[in-house]
A and B are shown apart, each in its own frame.
Chain A
Amino acid sequence: MSAKRSRRKGSALVGVLAWAAALVFFFPVLWMFVSGFKQEAQASTDPPTFLFAPTMDQFEAILGRDFTPYLLNSLMASIGSTLLVLALATPAAYALSLRPVPGWRDSLFFFISTRMMPPAAIILPLYIIASNAGVLDNVTMLALVYTAMNLPIAVWMIRSFLLELPTAVLEAAKIDGAGFLTEVRRIILPMIAPGLAATALICFIFAWNEFFFAVSLTSTRAATVPVFLTGFITSEGLFLARLSAAATMAALPVILAGWIAQKWLVRGLTMGAVK
């Protein structure tokens, strides 16, 4: 009886702590969301303004600035690169885990080592190549850059999911006479689907939020949402409310994607090597 009560007390405490932690992490996002409904002067007061009459002025101003092309460009670059990453990373991860190719350790290290070079170091050659090839300000080019950017992390993640697969299941399938394709399609892919969903979401978020390549390689046709966002930052005048409103709109697709992927995500993030 008393043991039961103290357990209940304990779990209530954990619940309160979890909520408190969640609120602390969520507060900046909430503040951004709230600030988007303020007037500029209210958004930059010290101490901060908590009570105010909400206005849609900032959102209207943003929509008046032709947000749609930026949104479409971001969607194309992010979704396109994520699909390409999954298509390339899954076979690569397979060849580095379940049926390791010779030298798989070196390959694996090579993949991750490409992330060790800071983007600033490769932007100039990349820019010159793009310029000479005539693909500056081109969404396809941006999608390819994001594919290259996300590929290493996707290979590593998917590999860790593949290693988790119980070998007994794979062996059983083989004994039952399953060929390679059947094994991949009916056993492996369904089993790592949560992992693939988690990988896809992470790649999508990285591509969606990427700013440096986007600002360097695009101008009018292929500019993405993060580039659009910075267009509200000015050295002369107040801009916090409008920037918050724009950032809220920019975050919506990611929140939506996260919400859709949620039920796979928890499993995907807790399986594999990162536990």
Chain B
Amino acid sequence: MQPSVRTRYAVAAGLATVLAASACSGAGGGGDDAKTITIATVANPQMQDIEQLSSVFEEETGIDVQFVILPENELRDKVTQDIATESGQYDIVTIGTYETPIWAENGWLAPLDEYASDPEYDVDDLLAPIREAVTYEDGLYAVPFYGESSFLMYRKDLFEAAGLTMPANPTWTEVAGLAAQLDDPENDVAGICLRGLAGWGENLAPLNTIIHTFGGRWYDEDWNAQLTSPETAAAVQFYVDLVRDYGEDGAANAGFSECLTATSQGNAAMWFDATVGASVLEDPESSDAAGLMGYAPAPVMETEHSGWLWAWNLALPETSQHKDAAWDFMSWATSKEYISLVGEELGWTRVPPGSRASTYEIPEYQEAAAAYAQPTLDQIANVNVTKPGLYEQNWAGVQYITIPEFQDLGTRVGQEISAAIAGNQTVEEALEKAQQYAEETAQTGGYQGG
């Protein structure tokens, strides 16, 4: 049977429309207009808020803001690719404290000191350790959108029921003892939730703070790997034992999200993780533990303080064609004005924390975040990024090393640790491999003897 003439015309018309449509460059917005800026960002809740509120900025300035939102790893790959090939698709990029000094060294980021010196921006209000983490050779290369350290979150009600108290400044030995007493597999409550999921941004983050406070380190001052030193080995053994004995089920696959879920559903008595976790735990809509949590400083051993430091920051790629408009947005998004705007429009618990000292002086925020605002601020203020443990480091960073090779090295070491947590190998075996990887990295990267 032959198709009718009408069918044939309809098909031809359909074809023509589709081909004509695909001859254009795409349905999304954005253009080469000087008044359009493109920002590449991660999908974290704080970034979703800024996307929602960016219309306020657009109305004030007449600048159109386009968002590219991707998961952390894809974003890192894509932005690196764009900047390294000088494609210039992005006017603002969201990067962590890890990338900032590396990218600044590569000449990929525009220095911001001149822009930020505007008194209205009040650059001195940025929290000092965070500001130090986004500074490279005395130049400011990114501005913090929100920052975090790590602390110990615990269920006050479970402590009370068990007749236990959390010391004001707990040591890891004390925490392990508490975890043993609180661990209650029959009622599905783990003594402590700790990340076991492999990754430099996952299990290595809490583990490295513990290595520091046990007196261990990754490298000495001459870049000799120290992962099998007695102090480092003791710290890793402690971490693996603690999570295997009193940690959550399936610990080798648990990261921040899994521990957050477990704690918010009442399946963990303690959780050592990012300070930003508290704002989710205290939200009655998503957490059964709201109002039941207490917050203690990151546990210590040999050092006075512990805890990591991380911030998501906005940076300006050198390849951007609209630097002034981009700074207008960056300064707005990291300003006191924006923090108040989030509080008024979306609620004070959703304010980006850990970037500005003035945030912690806002009465509404103090009230809304009463349980964790001060512990968070104290924790961030006590971080020393160049000497997080007992030794001065060649780099500024607590839970990471600011060399480009660390992403790969950290992932591989994280996998070995994760395998030890899963029980597939001993801690000694894991650390021997880790030591070898770290030594190879220092040699091939040209750090040793340099």
Contacts and interface: CB of A to CB of B under 8 A. Distances in A.
Contacts of B257: 44, 235-238
Given A73-B26, A221-B26, A235 B21 contact: no
Contacts of A79: 18, 22
B43 A232 contact: yes
B90 interface: yes
A140 B68 contact: no
B260 A238 contact: yes
Interface in A128-149: 128, 131, 136-140, 143
Interface stretch (A8-16, A170-178, A222-230): A222-230
A83 B89 contact: no
Interface stretch (B118-126, B280-288, B430-438): B280-288
B356 to A, nearest CB: 19
B27 A220 contact: no
Contacts of B69: 231
B38 A235 contact: no
Interface in B66-91: 66-72, 74, 78, 81-82, 85, 87, 89-90
A76 B27 CA distance: 9
A113 interface: no
Contacts of B31: 221
Contacts of A272: none
A234 B89 contact: no
Contacts of A235: 42, 44, 71-72, 201, 255-257
Interface in B5-48: 15, 18-19, 21-31, 38, 40, 42-45
Size range of the chain B interface in the assembly:
35 or more
Interface residues of A, number: 48
A93 to B, nearest CB: 20
Nearest to B283: A41
Contacts of B30: 219-221
B87 A136 contact: yes
Contacts of B201: 235
Interface string A180-207: 0000001000100000000000000000
B276 A69 contact: no
A271 interface: no
A229 to B, nearest CB: 10
Contacts of B321: none
A209 interface: no
A220 B66 contact: yes
A236 B44 contact: yes
Interface string A106-129: 000000000000000000000110
A258 B18 CA distance: 19
Given A231-B70, A239-B43, A218 B81 contact: no
B44 A221 contact: no
Contact of B25 (A46, A80, A128, A140): A140
Contact of B265 (A45, A70, A139, A236): A45
B28 A233 contact: no
B274 interface: yes
Contacts of B22: 76-77, 79-80, 139-140, 143
Contacts of A143: 22
Interface string B268-290: 00000010100010000111000
Contacts of B89: 136-137, 219-220
Contacts of A238: 257, 260-261, 280, 286
B42 A234 contact: yes
A248 interface: no
A45 B288 CA distance: 12
A76 B18 contact: yes
B213 interface: no
Nearest to B43: A234
B264 interface: yes
A221 B28 contact: yes
A40 interface: yes
Interface in A51-100: 65, 68-73, 76-77, 79-80, 83
B45 A234 contact: yes
A77 B26 CA distance: 9
Contacts of A128: 85
A222 B21 CA distance: 12
A259 B296 CA distance: 57
A136 B38 CA distance: 14
A41 B27 contact: no
Contacts of B256: 235-236
Nearest to A131: B87
Contacts of B51: 65
Given A215-B78, A233-B71, A234-B45, A41 B28 contact: no
7 pairs of A and B residues whose beta carbons are closest in the complex:
A222-B26, A72-B27, A231-B69, A221-B26, A80-B22, A220-B30, A69-B27
Interface of B: 1-2, 15, 18-19, 21-31, 38, 40, 42-45, 51, 66-72, 74, 78, 81-82, 85, 87, 89-90, 201, 255-257, 260-262, 264-265, 267, 274, 276, 280, 285-287
